[in-house]
Amino acid sequence: MSRLPAHRLPAHRLPAHLVLADGATFAGYAAGYLPEEGVRTGEFVFNTALSGYQEVLTDPSYAGQVITFTYPHIGNYGVTPLDDEATRPWCQGLVVRELATRRSSWRATEDLEEYLVRHRVAAIVGVDTRRLTRHLRSHGALAGAFGHAGLAEVSAAALRAEGTDGHDLVSDVTTRTAFTRGEGDLHVVAIDYGIKETMVAQLARRFRVTVVPSWTTADEVRALGADGVFLSNGPGDPAALAPAVREIGGLVGTLPIFGICLGHQLLATALGATTFKLPFGHHGSNHPVQDLASGRIEITAQNHNYAVAPSSVSRGVVSHVNLNDGVIEGIAAAEERCFSVQYHPEAGPGPHDARYLFERFDHLLRTDRLESR
């Protein structure tokens, strides 16, 4: 069990424990929001980004998960509403080695811990995140629990904790009502499975965008007069979203489609492919991906636990691959006017190498409009 050196113990923090479903136990201190029950559960994953912690925390794709940051010092530049990717964090909690107690940025409006308390996000600090990350790399993403309750109580909660397999988490994070952004001459309907604000902003720079709930049907999309369809990122297991796959299948071949992350997995499934769960997923801002058509290599931001099975792709072709482990990072079906990528070209946070894909979508829509005249 790891412990913070005595000379660095924060006097105002309660001792806390982190226990994984396989029994691995870590010591730390409670931070952020302190739930009355003294414990929080979720699926533990690690993120390798060096900055952008606010964007990571507010990415709806982390619903049901507890985020471990591998970078040891988090919170040094505070938070600002300008960096929110959603109206609130959807993650189950936060694990860090050291949580900065004083912000240093002219953009900041509050400290990270104040932000966590305001949004009722529990955290555990002082954890040996290097050891935790190595454990998750060896054993895969694991359910578990953490909190300031007694070790026995946290351990019991860890045994009851559930991962993301088989769960529809999209219904929790999707918008309840449609809304519109942008004033472009082309109209894109974006289906919100957990859409990030940066995605909406990138689309709105090019199109008039109507963001609709995840349960919107294919007929309802066409009734909105869409020139194209965007399938957003989102949390959880794509195999648990059969209704969404069915509606996407009703759109394939009738309108141009662009999908990102969960949207990529759902489009691939609608095209007949299957998905599987990666051992510990891809979560970070530095994953090298190759565009197979051009040979170009781009550094990408990623956040996903599931991927498309290579042997299952029959309609369309694999367009991008991850150079770390060969995972499919993109598919394209030219005849059916659709393509998708597993990574996050909008960034937020991360490099902007792949933002050309929004221009590719724009070109696809304009070509489709000309050919349909």
* CATH classification at residue 305: 3.40.50.880
Residue that is written with structure tokens 């109580």 in the block: 153
Output the pLDDT for position 309: 97
Domain boundary among 131, 160, 189: 160
Note whether 179 and 313 are same-domain residues.
yes
How far is the CA of 46 from the CAs of 99, 131, 280, 285, 371, in angstroms? 16, 11, 8, 12, 46
- Say yes or no: 119 and 225 in one domain: no
- CATH number, domain of 13, equals 3.50.30.20
- Distances in whole angstroms, Cα of residue 211 to Cα of each of 135, 222, 316: 39, 14, 27
Predicted pLDDT of residue 6: 38
For residues 231 and 350, membership in a common domain is answered with: yes
The answer as to whether 90 is a domain residue is yes
Q: Are residues 224 and 318 in the same domain?
A: yes
Strands 25-32 and 15-20: antiparallel
Residue 362 is predicted with a pLDDT of 95
165 located within any domain: no
- Written as one string, the DSSP assignment of 233-260 is ---S-GGG-HHHHHHHHHHBTTB-EEEE
What's the confidence (pLDDT) of residue 1?
43
What's the pTM? 0.94
Query: Does 360 reside within a domain?
Result: yes
Same domain, 107 and 222: no
* CA torsion, ordered 167, 168, 173, 175, to nearest 10 deg: 180
Does the residue 1 lie in any domain?
no
- Looking at the fold, whether 139 and 217 belong to one and the same domain comes out as no
What is the domain count for the chain?
2
Token digits for 256?
């141009």
346 an active-site residue?
A: yes
Q: Which of 120, 135, 160 is the last residue of a domain?
A: 160
Is 137 among the domain residues? yes
Look at the chain and count its residues: 373
Same domain, 74 and 105: yes
Please give the Cα distance from 356 to 353 (Å, whole number).
Answer: 7
Provide the pLDDT for residue 10.
54
Rounded to an integer, what distance in angstroms lies between the CA atom of residue 325 and that of residue 310?
12
Domain termination site, one of 97, 127, 160: 160
One domain, residues 307 and 212: yes
Query: How far, in Å, CA of 173 to CA of 214, rounded?
Result: 9
Within a domain: 44:
yes
Q: Which of these is catalytic: 261, 283, 298, 338?
A: 261
Is residue 109 located within the same domain as residue 244? no
Give dist(CA 222, CA 232) in Å, integer: 18
Q: Does residue 215 share a domain with residue 74? A: no
Instruction: Give the chain's end-to-end CA distance (angstroms, integer).
Output: 68
**CA distances from residue 108 to 90, 105, 156, 173, 197 in whole angstroms, order as listed:** 21, 5, 39, 26, 19
Q: Is 36 a catalytic residue?
A: no
Least Cα distance to 236 among 162, 307, 170, 280 occurs for 170
Phi/psi at 10 (nearest 5 deg)? Answer: -75, 120
Active site residue 282: no
Q: Is residue 335 part of a domain?
A: yes
**Other beta carbons less than 10 A from residue 297's beta carbon:** 12
> Which regions of the chain are under pLDDT 70?
1-11, 373
Q: What pLDDT does 12 receive?
A: 80
Q: Give the neighbor-by-neighbor strand order of the sheet with 275-291.
A: 179-181, 208-212, 187-191, 228-231, 257-260, 338-341, 328-333, 317-322, 275-291, 297-308
Give, to the nearest 10 degrees, the angle between helix 262-270 and helix 242-251: 70
Q: What is the DSSP letter of 316?
A: S
Euclidean distance between CA atoms 234 and 66, whole angstroms: 15
Please state, in angstroms and rounded to a whole number, the distance separating the CA atoms of residues 115 and 123: 12
Residue pair 237/199 in contact (Cβ under 8 Å)? The answer is no
Q: Which amino acid is at 343?
A: Y
Provide the pLDDT for residue 158. Answer: 98
Write out the residue range of the structural domain in which residue 52 sits. 6-160
Q: What is the pLDDT of residues 336-355, one digit of tens each?
A: 999 999 999 999 898 888 89
Q: What phi, psi does 40 have (nearest 5°)? A: -130, 150
Nearest to 317 by CA among 287, 357, 273, 356: 273
Handedness of CA 68, 70, 72, 74 (dihedral sign): negative
- Examine residue 149 and state whether it is found in any structural domain, yes or no: yes
Give the list of residues 6+ apart from residue 169 with CB closer than 8 angstroms, or none. Answer: 63, 64, 194, 234, 235, 236
Q: Same structural domain for residues 180 and 281?
A: yes
Same domain, 155 and 178: no
